[in-house]
Amino acid sequence: MKKKIRIPLVSSALLLVFFMTHHGMHAQSLGFFEESLLFEISGGFFTVDGQYYFRNTGQNDIHQILFYPLPADDDPLSIDSVSVTETPVAEEQLLVHRSDKGFSFLVQLKAGEEKAYHIFYRQKVIHHARYILTSTQQWGKPLEKAFYQLKVPLEIKPTSFSYPPDYQEENLDETIYIWYRENFMPDKDFEIEF
């Protein structure tokens, strides 16, 4: 039976300081190396739904809190849903704390282990959507692989992308834009105007 870890909901700053102080020696062993994300614009919402891949290159197990920034520039209440779970085990919510700037979640990896985490959030949008990519720079290494898909109904026509798509497909009711990158260090966020 899997042991559940319960962390009291206190200030995210305190949690981050606590984990950085007590687990700082492991921080360099933790690597974020890949993401595979599905974006969708529909019904006045922008959703982010994807897999984030982490690796422990060290000799010790890692139990660390990570902060995930949210693009709530104009209205912090625009984000109405957030979920973080392990993949493929999606039973336990790993969300520790949420604020208007983002949320914190628990990452646990054994020495030498790689693991995927499933993260989902939904945000109300009008004519503009943004996903924060530049936070990758804080890891000090580019993503080995990054795969992004954006689905939009046919009646929504994007007018600009911060990263032009590699290609697009169209079916009966939606357009799918696709990006694939290797050795990717983003220099700007993923933004869509429509």
**pLDDT above 60 for 19:** no
pLDDT on residue 49: 97
pLDDT on residue 71: 82
**pLDDT above 90 for 157:** yes
In this prediction the pTM is 0.83
More confident residue, 34 or 92: 34
pLDDT on residue 9: 33
**CATH fold of 12-20+28-193, please?**
Immunoglobulin-like (2.60.40)
**pLDDT tens-digit map of 35-91:** 999 999 999 999 999 999 999 999 999 999 999 998 866 565 688 889 999 988 767
**Parallel/antiparallel/unpaired status of strands 174-184 and 167-170:** antiparallel
pLDDT on residue 73: 64
pLDDT on residue 20: 39
CA 168 vs CA 84, 149, 152, 178: distances in Å: 29, 9, 11, 6
| Domain residue limits, the chain | 12-20+28-193
> ∠ CA 159-162-165 to the nearest 5 degrees?
75
**pLDDT tens-digit map of 90-140:** 677 898 988 888 999 999 999 999 999 999 999 999 999 999 999 999 999
